[in-house]
Structure 1
Amino acid sequence: MVTEEEAFAALHTVVDPELDEPITDLGFVRSLDVDGPNVTVHLRLPTSFCAPNFAYLMASDAKDALTALPGVGRAEVWLDDHHDSEVINRGLAEDAGYRGTFGAEAEHDLDELRLTFRRKAHTAAMERALTQLLRADPRLSEEDLHDVTIADLPEGAQTEGLLRRREALGLGTGPAEPVLVDDHGAPYPREEVPLRLRFARSIRISIDGNAHFCRGLLRTRYPGSGEDQAPRAPEPFSTTTVRTKAS
């Protein structure tokens, strides 16, 4: 048997690929019903025209997360009120996979999409952790971030989030690993650090802005759904004073 708490915890591991937040925190879980070994979930999205590949990815991940739970006999996931709900729900019920669900419309494999957004999430997490470090130590310049390793980061949510995203990409998480790295774990040259940090900041701002926008759209589309949304953790910083060696 599985409990509702266990099923909800499994759904909490499912992340919107673009917004980099759990679907449970975003309020995308419309209902969860546990009947003995059987679990039924209904999902909802901010608009009816959310990208079908994103919608399928979240719904498929939700079904996989529930199916993996010990004691689950049958897991059903239904996507409500989407323009491709019928197609997606049929594909999920038949375990047809993404290409089997969308056929010729599925130009790219979902693994490519997942990798793209994992890399963006990692870039944003690097920026959060390093900006927090800059604000905590006025002596640091942006160029100094070239030498920062994981051991230099303070304990807390920002560092934990960065480590999770590095693990998802298969990057090292040891204390001696450099923090500011490219998609393959290679550190950037020192002279490129300010530019790379600004690029990472633009990615983080885009992700955070989209998440805020989509939360609002969901509350507008489904009155009362705000009660199902977890408050976003406040950023430990709002703006960053740029400090270079020349400052």
Structure 2
Amino acid sequence: MTQVQTRPAPQAGLPGRDDIRRALGAVQDPELDEPITDLGFVRSIDVAPAARGAAVSVHLRLPTSFCSPNFAYLMASDSKDAIAVLPGVDTVTVELDDHHDSGLINAGLAADAGYRGTFGHEAEESLEELRWTFRRKAHTAAMERCLTELLRADRGLAESDVGQVRLADLPAGRTKDALLRRREALGLPLDSAAAVLVDHLGNSYPADAVPMALRRARSTRISIDGNAHFCRGLLRTRYEGSGADQTARPEGAEPGESHTLLPITVKENA
């Protein structure tokens, strides 16, 4: 684990290293649906005195050098934005280490060029569209966790009947809370009478389509959980000691359940 000395802030009330790390806890890996702090992607944090507050420098690392540039840029850009809004922060520098596009991404972040300004003609799709794609997947996985938990608790409930399950039928707890957060992020109804098994637009499924919808949701959840486990292992292999920076998830816990979803709009400058 890379240790970076935190220099004292020039005056009381300025953010420290712990404040920066808490802010970064709201930044999610879009594919894994977990905070970058829990995954161990934050390599170092440095806080130093600056002219009008604190100068913050953060280095990020990823499990491989060929992780998707879209995801890499999104996490780095979100990190910069999450820190910049903290009271007392003067300047923010976020750099991505050891990635095949590190130079390009770091230059774009330093210039506040935005996604399209950074990648130019290679930026074929909107990152905001990509963000919504993964928000939908996160909702699907959270929905499946709730329904599977209910099926295990009530052996008399058949898979074909879960289309009739309402939010009011779900037991209170971390799994339901996580689903409600994902529904809110998509603008889906949160009232107790709302159906649980819905698509990303909030539409319920016909009775004969319910089992297949649940199986597809289960496949999505398994994929997300499996990728997260795989990436954690790759990071530990790539960076000795990085496992100490990873936060183990409690048995049955939702990814990032103690963190809020960051409401950031990606800069799309031409």
How does the TM-score come out when normalised to structure 2?
A: 0.85
1:6 Cα offset (Å): 2.0
1:153 aligns with 2:170: yes
Percent of aligned positions with the same letter in both sequences?
A: 67
Q: Which residue of 2 aligns with 1:71?
A: 88
Partners of 1:8 and 1:151 in 2: CA distance: 36
Give SS of 1:73's match. Answer: strand
Q: Distance in 2 between matches of 1:169 and 1:77?
A: 28
Match of 2:201 among 159, 176, 184: 184
Q: After the TM superposition, which residues 185-204 of structure 1 pair with which residues of structure 2 at under 5 Å, given as runs?
A: 185-204=202-221
> Partner letter of residue 28 of structure 1?
F
Cα drift, residue 3 of structure 1: 2.6
Match of 1:232 among 226, 249, 267: 249
1:163 is matched with 180
Structure 2 distance, partners of 1:70, 1:166, is: 30
Aligned position for 1:242: none
1:88 corresponding residue in structure 2? 105
**Counterpart in 1 of 2:154?**
137
Provide the residue aligned with 1:35 in structure 2: 48
2:89 aligned counterpart, secondary structure? coil
Q: Secondary structure at the match of 1:217?
A: helix
Write the distance in 1 (CA, Å) between the matches of 2:55 and 2:188: 37
Q: Could you tell me which amino acid in structure 2 is paired with residue 210 of structure 1?
A: N
Q: Which has the higher contact order (CA 8 A, sep 6+)?
A: 2
Shift of 1:73: 1.5
For structure 1, list consecutive stretches of 5 or more residues without a partner in the other structure. Answer: 237-247
The aligned amino acid for 2:197 is L
Partner of 2:39: 26
Deviation, 1:159, is 1.0
Q: After superposition, give the CA deviation of every residue in 1:18-39 in whole Å (9 maximum; x if it has no partner).
A: 1111100000000112224222
Aligned to 1:15: 28
Partners of 1:104 and 1:234 in 2: how far apart?
44
CA distance in 2, matches of 1:189, 1:20: 29
Q: Decide which structure has greater helix share.
A: 1
The DSSP-based 3-state class of the residue aligned with 1:76 is strand
The match for 2:235 is 218
| Post-superposition offset of 1:67 | 1.0
Matching residue's letter, 2:69: P
Normalization by structure 1: what TM-score?
0.92
Report the AA paired with residue 15 of structure 1.
Q
Rounded Cα–Cα distance in structure 2 between residues aligned with 1:204 and 1:186: 20
**What letter is aligned with 1:199?**
R
Tell me, in whole angstroms, the C-alpha distance in 1 between the residues paired with 2:161 and 2:19.
44
- In 2, distance between residues paired with 1:9 and 1:151? 32
CA distance in 2, matches of 1:174, 1:6: 35
Q: Which secondary structure does the structure 2 equivalent of 1:49 belong to? A: coil
- Which residues in structure 2 correspond to 1:41-60 (within 5 Å)? 41-60=58-77
Q: State the aligned residue count.
A: 236
Q: Quote the residue 1:101 is aligned against.
A: 118
Deviation at residue 160 of structure 1 after TM alignment: 1.5
Counterpart-to-counterpart distance in 2, 1:77 and 1:60: 8
For 2:236 and 2:181, locate their aligned partners in 1 and report how far apart those are by CA, in whole Å: 29
Q: CA deviation at 1:93?
A: 0.6
Question: How far does the alpha carbon of each residue in 1:54-103 deviate from its partner, in whole angstroms, 9 at most, with x for none?
Answer: 10000001111111222221111110000100100000011100000000
The aligned amino acid for 1:157 is R
- The answer to whether the aligner puts 1:2 opposite 2:15 as a matched pair is yes
Partner residue in 2 for 1:110: 127
